[in-house]
Amino acid sequence: MKLYQFPFAPNAAKVRLYLAEKAELGCEIPIEEVLVNLVEGEHKSEAHLARNPHGTVPTLELDDGSFLTESLAIIEYLEVRYPILSMWGDDPASAAYARQIERIADLGVLINAAREIHTSNSPLGLPPNRPVSEYHKGRRELAVGHLERIVSDGRPFLAGDRPTVGDCTLQAILQFARFRELDLLEDAPNLRAWCDRFRERPAAKQTIVL
């Protein structure tokens, strides 16, 4: 398998963090990583568009030559193929809760923060749109506040006492925000403490580049 990725792209970083955490747990998944430089426009190349018509990363090339182009679909595929040491949970209740946390981190924080950045200070040179940026900032702040309240009980990870996909999702967008000099945790001391702890993990140290 091949993972086409760019380290600063949040959805690609999410999958890379997932793979590193999975390996840290003792389940190393054999995947070759291939760089697609978004800043230089390689995602718009004919070769990449043949893999992924949307021109996005990550894109996972499977052994049969087919492709998966959505980060969560990639993770779900790998979790089914390599079910040992699940990054969701060991029982239906914990798995459902971990998925709920991941959806808050993804739909609430990652997507809104990415749109906020791309309509205000886009690294891809997209035109600014202040009203749209402010809207997504407000939605992002609501989700960050929700997660801040969740971790206020002192839990070490977002979903409890072990890392799950949600931790990878939130760390990925925090890195992208730092890349654009945006502090998403300005009013979230509990999440900041979680972030600092998570970044000290071996998987994070080998994956997070900023």
2-81: what CATH class? alpha beta
DSSP one-letter string for 173-202: HHHHHHHTT--TTTT-HHHHHHHHHHHTSH
Average pLDDT of the residues in 186-197:
97
pLDDT by residue (tens digit) across 33-91? 999 999 899 999 999 999 999 999 999 999 999 999 999 999 999 999 999 899 999 99
pLDDT by residue (tens digit) across 103-128? 999 999 999 999 999 999 888 888 99
> Which residues make beta-bridge pairs with 47?
none
Q: Please give the sequence-ordered ranges of beta strands (E in DSSP) within the chain, or none if there are none.
A: 2-5, 32-35, 59-61, 67-68
The structural domains of the chain, with segments of one domain joined by +, span 2-81, 92-207
Whole-angstrom Cα distance, residue 14 to residue 208? 10
Give the CATH architecture of domain 92-207: Up-down Bundle (1.20)
